[in-house]
Amino acid sequence: MRQAVTVFVGFAGIATMTSACGAPPDYDVIIRGGSVLDGTGTPALVTDVGIRGDAIATVGDLSASTAAETIDAAGLTVTPGFIDMHSHSDYTLLVDPRALSKIIQGVTTELLGESNSAAPALGPARPELARTLDGLELALDWTTLGEYFARVERTPPSVNILSTVASGQIRAAVVGYDNRPATADELERMTALVDEAMRDGAVGLSSGLIYPPNSYAPTEELVTLARAAARHGGIYVSHIRNESDGLLDALNEAIGIGREAEIQVEVLHFKRSGARPVPSGTDVTIQDAALLIEEAQAAGIEIYANLYPYAASQTTLNIRLPDWTLEGGREQLVVRLRDPETRERIRREVADLLAGDRGGATPATVMVGRTPYEPHRQYQGMRLAAIAEAMGVEPADALLEIIDRADGTAGGIFFGMREEDVAFAMALPWTTIGSDGTALAPDGILGRTHPHPRSYGSFARVLGHYARDEGVLTLPDAVRKITSLPAARLGLADRGVLDAGWRADVVVFDAETITDTATFGDPQQLAMGVRWVIVNGEVVVADGTHTGATPGRVLRHAAVGAATDDVQALRSLFPTRPTG
């Protein structure tokens, strides 16, 4: 009989096991006695989980087995790692690979991309991306998505990543930032870039259709690009064109793209925004939108959605400017703002918008979230009405001044949704969770800004506030929405379920105390209640503390199909390496 000697090392609750006779342990890690939710929505089972290498080896009674490390999970919940279906960590992971705000919530995999993916970094898109990276003190040293993935792998993060390729990024690379249709030759080049990105491992095509130059793409262009992604087995992920009064039309466009391109569709941050304080009775509702999606599903179209668990959104303050001001990109926007006559025209139009009653578009419902302009950082986390009063100007003037001084890069938080709509959407059986946030840290360069609390709290809020406290979801269903369901949508055949042979992405948390502590007023606060996080078999969070481990991987989509030679022809037109 082997007699094990337990030696506690590193963190409380984790033990190193060795055999008295020198035999190797049975497992690398055993998680003992936890309430195991396997991610499929079935009830919990108190049992053990054994890990060897980067995979789960056994789920069952391991009381007679030994391990190099043992985690006591008695009284805690054990689940697969959480999958964030909508993240903007593309560049912050290069700044700080710990992914602190996400991993402390239990997020082990993030889907990147959306309106501006990390590649292709070609043509007019390249200097725009370089300016974005300058703000993070990063250099642009890649061109293709494959090169970006290689850049991530040189300093791997604590989380796994996937990425789409963005239609807006492709359009900027080929067409630029002009509001015009692509020519036939340009569309052929854009299609070739989708082919290249899919071969590099993109999971599909994405679009952010409220943002230029994404918004300049007609539906037919999106269908063509989506077909290219579909040929490689990819999906189409979309921030749809309108989430307010035009919500149903925008959803019909996404449904049509799914039908015409024969591609699975994922609607990002499903919501009804721009809500009035008192509904008119004739406004489009979130219920109308859900019914439309379910009718499309019944007709055989694969269309689903994700959401974040907050009644406020975050994006650039520029979305409160007239569309015409954004043509040509940020540089042209700044030129317009600094021309007195043009600025006055903009000011009048913005003042008319702010005088309305739409949530997220009034001085009381717009908050400044971030600005690189140091004198204005005092306004981060303040509502526009209070900022205007402090400046001694009208709200429209305050908004333009903040955008101008930030060179068009200021961010905002917009309180334009109803809490009951969030709960309704979350309870739908086909929705998943996407934070629409970023992997951040309270310290260093990433701690200088004022983010939406969703970057720090989304998954803890779903499990704590909505499942435990409000009963919107059962705990097993909440876990399903953040594990096996998103894994299936993304084609991750070996993640999202706790079972033998699956990848060892595991979270151990206290279901009674898991809480989002980040607020709109004080967002740079880590969530509470997650005790242990394992990524690819390696402990990243031990007893609530980051271990410094960065075992995350790039999860490349296994694309199929041959690409054309047009990609090489296109790349020959632009520099493929940074200059200077």
Helices and strands: H and E segment counts in the chain: 18, 23
For the entire predicted model, the pTM comes to 0.91
Q: 3 falls in which pLDDT band (50, 70, 90)?
A: very low
Confidence band for 280, pLDDT divided at 50, 70 and 90: confident
Q: Which residues, other chains included, contact 98 with Cβ-Cβ below 8 Å and sequence gap of 6+?
A: 157, 158, 441, 546, 548, 550
CATH classification (class only), 115-267+270-309: alpha beta
**Distances from the Cα of 39 to the Cα of 240, 479, 485, 491, 495, angstroms:** 29, 6, 8, 15, 10
Looking at residues 87-91, what average pLDDT do you find? Answer: 98
Span 498-537, pLDDT tens digits: 999 999 999 999 999 999 999 999 999 999 999 999 999 9
d(CA 489, CA 235): 9
Burial 174-186 (b: 16+ CB within 10 A, else e): bbbbeeeebeeeb
Mean pLDDT of 13-32: 73
CB 555 within 8 A of CB 121: no
- The DSSP secondary structure of 302-361, one letter per residue, reads -EEEEE-SSS-EEEEGGGGS-GGGGTT-HHHHHHHHTSHHHHHHHHHHHHHHHTS--TTS
The tens digit of pLDDT for each residue in 299-312 reads 999 999 999 999 99
Q: What is the pLDDT of residue 455?
A: 98
Please say if the pLDDT value at position 476 is more than 80: yes
Distance CA(27)–CA(30), nearest Å, equals 7
Predicted pLDDT at 115: 83
- What's residue 565's pLDDT? 53
pLDDT at position 6 over 70: no
pLDDT at 317: 96
Least confident piece of the model among 324-328, 350-354, 459-463: 324-328
pLDDT digits (tens, 9 = 90+) for 287-299: 999 999 999 999 9
Provide the pLDDT confidence category of residue 26 given band limits of 50, 70 and 90: very high
Burial class (CB in 10 A: 0-12, 13-18, 19+), 277: exposed
* Close Cβ partners of 531 (under 8 Å, ≥ 6 residues apart): 13, 76, 508, 509, 510, 541, 543, 544
Question: How high is the pLDDT of residue 2?
Answer: 28
* Helix (H) / strand (E) containing 107: strand 107-112
Could you give the percent of the chain with pLDDT greater than 70? 93
CA–CA dist 427, 375 (Å, integer):
43
Nearest to 92 by CA among 433, 437, 410: 437
DSSP output for 396-442:
HHHHHHHHHHTTT--EEEE--S-HHHHHHHHHSTTEEE---B----S
In this prediction, residues 384-408 reach a mean pLDDT of 96
Q: What is the pLDDT of residue 559?
A: 62
Q: Which pLDDT tens digit goes with each residue over 491-502?
A: 999 999 999 999
Average pLDDT of the residues in 93-116:
97
Q: What is the pLDDT of residues 207-219, one digit of tens each?
A: 999 999 999 999 9
The span from the first CA to the last CA of the chain, in angstroms, equals 67
Report percent pLDDT > 90 for the chain: 87
Mean predicted confidence (pLDDT) in 214-228:
97
Whether the predicted pLDDT of 15 surpasses 70: no
Q: Which two tokens stand for residue 202?
A: 């993109």
Block residue for tokens 């300016």: 131
Q: Among all chains, which residue has been given the structure tokens 């009804």?
A: 272
Segments making up each domain of the chain, as ranges: 115-267+270-309, 316-414
Q: Using an 8 Å Cβ cutoff, are 539 and 108 in contact? A: no
**Distance of CA 491 to CAs 45, 82, 225, 482, Å?**
27, 15, 20, 14
Q: Residue 45 belongs to what H/E stretch?
A: strand 45-52
Amino acid (one-letter) located at 168: G
Tokens of 293: 């999606």
pLDDT tens for residues 125-170?
Answer: 999 999 999 989 999 999 999 999 999 999 999 999 999 999 999 9
